[in-house]
């Protein structure tokens, strides 16, 4: 793993002599900075740095002898589902148990055997343990960011925030999420939306929306389609059902009439109006598309299927993700728990619980989080497999980091029994489907689960893997509205997850 915090894109991109030649001809090395007016305005430096747009951002896939499409060693898929576990799951209590470590490290839980000989999980994942031959684990994920806001940003954009280990506010100058970049590069997807986020946006304590989930510098137009609380109604998106007696012709007439109501000149000049205009048109597109209405109608599922996923927000969100994949949505993110530590304010509401378990970790995991998580994620993997969708869908379960090896009471947090603090140096992720090597474990940690003891991978490598799986060259770039180029990511695809 190469940590992008230690490297410079521009040192790699051009030697010093070429930088000077560009500077003399275009004046980029001025007080306005390298992304100032200079040659980026003409596109000359952009081509010098990155090559032509068609050659890098829109690179297609290669083909191997078996006839399956690959890009950068990664199997191409039709859809990606990211199940985001906000707050930081404990790798030692779930995916990477340490049964031989001292009790203050291994914790209160025993281990459980899985369907893959030699692979153990925490004891409170029985359903996932029985499916271990259907997914694989990467146990050597690692990075440097140890606070929620900036680490969520890192996970969902693939790149460090300027304020590492902090809880920054959402800004319009943020880098776009992976979903937003996909939407920028593949806007033509003929489906509900190229990118959909369910049960979000993710909230970090105390009650802030985490950055890294939006279009950022690309603009609101490239935000994912957000679907909030899926427990509210079987239709999950209010207002999609056609009004009784309103024909398609009358609906079209209403849209035309509304378009004739022009805004005042002072309003039309504001960027917020462009956002409103885009969102309004998007709403019309959604309500006029019967495929969209069907995809969002959880009431169309048999009771047995809904019960299989569970009636929780996480369960229904995973079920909706499967329906969206069936409807052709390429990139779906499930925010499995909408708040990373809602239990501080609502300790009696299971749905409020997040994975940020500084204290009371074992009670929270055993009774509040793991039963719902084990049920919903196992149901998603099984259901996709039974419907023949798992091979063409890559499922990734990931959080922003892990939790510390040492079990200890943290006096600055609510709770009466010990927990584990943030830990970014080592954590685990799960991948299923999409040609990954089911049953395999990639990477290992030391005896305490504190540090990688093999090759480490970072969120930038996972980002590269997701881009490649969706047919986008991770070594490419995208352009912002001012036609300034930005690299897609600084990582390399995790090829080991495809090697049997």
Residues contacting 237, CB < 8 A, separation 6+: 227, 286, 296
The H or E element spanning position 135 is: strand 135-141
| Residue-level pLDDT at 6 | 63
How far is it, in rounded angstroms, from Cα 340 to Cα 204?
A: 5
Radius of gyration of the chain measured on its C-alpha atoms: 23
Sort strands 74-75 and 69-71 into parallel, antiparallel or unpaired.
antiparallel
Q: pTM (2 decimals)?
A: 0.84
| Residue-level pLDDT at 231 | 87
Burial class of residue 277 (count of CB atoms within 10 Å of its CB; 0-12, 13-18, 19+): middle
How far is it, in rounded angstroms, from Cα 492 to Cα 494?
A: 6
Sort strands 69-71 and 62-63 into parallel, antiparallel or unpaired.
antiparallel
Q: Where are the beta strands (DSSP E) in 339-385?
A: none
How far is it, in rounded angstroms, from Cα 81 to Cα 60?
A: 21
Output b/e per residue, 459-484; b: 16+ Cβ within 10 A. Answer: bbbbbbbbbbbbbbbbbbbbbbeeeb
Sort strands 485-487 and 203-204 into parallel, antiparallel or unpaired.
unpaired
Q: Please, where are the H alpha helices in 6-123? A: 9-13, 16-26, 44-50, 53-56, 103-106
| Residue-level pLDDT at 10 | 33
Q: What is the DSSP letter of 287?
A: H
- Rounded (10°) angle between helices 178-185 and 459-469: 30
- Rounded (10°) angle between helices 370-386 and 313-326: 20
How far is it, in rounded angstroms, from Cα 433 to Cα 385?
A: 8
| Residue-level pLDDT at 47 | 38
Q: Where are the beta strands (DSSP E) in 153-198?
A: 195-198
| Residue-level pLDDT at 252 | 66
Q: What is the DSSP letter of 143?
A: -
The residues with which 81 forms a beta bridge, in sequence order, are: 332, 395
The H or E element spanning position 277 is: helix 271-287
Query: For the chain, how far is it from start to end, CA to CA, in angstroms?
Result: 20
| Residue-level pLDDT at 235 | 59
Q: How far is C-alpha 86 from the geometric centre of its chain's CA atoms?
A: 10
CA atoms in the 13 A half-sphere facing the CB of 40: 18
Cα distances from 47 to residues 82, 226, 329, 435, 499, in angstroms, run: 33, 35, 32, 34, 35
| Residue-level pLDDT at 239 | 59
Contact 133, 146 (CB under 8 A): no
- Summarize pLDDT for 271-308 with one digit per residue, the tens: 655 556 656 666 666 665 667 778 889 999 999 999 99
Contact 420, 403 (CB under 8 A): yes
Q: Which residues of the chain have pLDDT under 50?
A: 8-68
Q: Which domains are delineated in the chain?
A: 4-50 (no CATH), 62-236+296-498 (3.40.720.10), 238-288 (no CATH)
| Residue-level pLDDT at 254 | 67
How far is it, in rounded angstroms, from Cα 178 to Cα 199?
A: 17
Sort strands 393-398 and 79-84 into parallel, antiparallel or unpaired.
parallel
Show the CA angle centred on residue 367, arms to residues 364 and 370, nearest 5°: 80
How far is it, in rounded angstroms, from Cα 223 to Cα 293?
A: 20
Cα distances from 255 to residues 190, 252, 283, in angstroms, run: 22, 5, 11
How far is it, in rounded angstroms, from Cα 400 to Cα 405?
A: 16
How far is it, in rounded angstroms, from Cα 398 to Cα 314?
A: 14
| Nearest CA among 301, 284, 285 for reference residue 236 | 301
């Amino acid at each position: 793993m190469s940590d992008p915090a230690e490297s410079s894109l521009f040192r790699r991109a051009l030697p010093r002599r070429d930088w000077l030649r560009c500077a003399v001809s275009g004046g980029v090395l001025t007080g306005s900075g390298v992304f100032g007016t200079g040659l980026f305005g003409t596109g000359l430096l952009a081509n010098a740095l990155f090559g032509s747009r068609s050659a890098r951002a829109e690179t297609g896939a290669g083909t191997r002898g078996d006839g399956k499409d690959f890009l950068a060693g990664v199997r191409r898929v039709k859809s990606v589902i990211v199940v985001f576990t906000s707050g930081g799951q404990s790798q030692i209590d779930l995916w990477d148990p340490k049964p031989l470590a001292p009790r203050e490290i291994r914790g209160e839980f025993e281990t459980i055997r899985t369907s893959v000989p030699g692979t153990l999980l925490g004891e409170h994942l029985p359903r996932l343990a029985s499916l271990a031959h259907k997914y694989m684990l990467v146990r050597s994920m690692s990075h440097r960011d140890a606070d929620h806001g900036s680490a969520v940003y890192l996970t969902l954009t693939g790149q460090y925030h300027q304020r590492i280990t902090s809880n920054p506010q959402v800004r319009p100058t943020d880098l776009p999420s992976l979903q937003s970049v996909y939407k920028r590069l593949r806007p033509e997807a003929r489906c509900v939306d190229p990118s959909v986020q369910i049960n979000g946006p993710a909230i970090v304590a105390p009650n802030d929306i985490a950055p890294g989930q939006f279009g950022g510098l690309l603009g609101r137009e490239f935000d994912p389609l957000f679907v909030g609380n899926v427990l509210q109604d079987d239709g999950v998106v209010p207002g999609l059902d056609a009004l009784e007696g309103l024909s398609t012709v009358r609906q079209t007439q209403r849209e035309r009439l509304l378009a004739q109501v022009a805004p005042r000149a002072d309003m039309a000049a504001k960027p917020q109006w462009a956002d409103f205009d885009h969102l309004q048109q998007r709403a019309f597109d959604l309500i006029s598309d019967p495929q969209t209405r069907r995809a969002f109608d959880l009431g169309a599922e048999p009771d047995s299927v809904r019960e299989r996923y569970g009636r929780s927000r996480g369960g229904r969100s995973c079920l909706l993700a499967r329906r969206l994949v069936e409807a052709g949505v390429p990139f779906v993110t499930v925010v499995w728990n909408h708040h990373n530590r809602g239990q501080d304010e609502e300790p009696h509401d299971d749905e409020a619980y997040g994975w940020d378990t500084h204290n009371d970790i074992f009670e929270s995991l055993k009774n509040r989080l793991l039963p719902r998580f084990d049920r919903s994620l196992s149901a998603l993997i099984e259901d996709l497999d039974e419907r023949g969708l798992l091979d063409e869908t890559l499922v990734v379960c990931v959080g922003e980091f892990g939790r510390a090896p040492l079990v200890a009471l943290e006096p600055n947090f609510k709770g009466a029994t010990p927990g584990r603090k943030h830990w970014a140096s080592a954590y685990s992720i799960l991948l299923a489907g999409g040609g990954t090597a089911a049953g395999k474990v990639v990477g290992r940690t030391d005896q305490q689960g504190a540090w990688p003891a093999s090759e480490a991978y970072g969120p930038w490598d996972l980002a590269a893997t997701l881009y490649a799986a969706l047919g986008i060259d991770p070594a490419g770039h995208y352009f912002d509205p001012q036609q300034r180029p930005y690299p897609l990511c600084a990582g390399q695809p995790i090829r080991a997850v495809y090697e049997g």
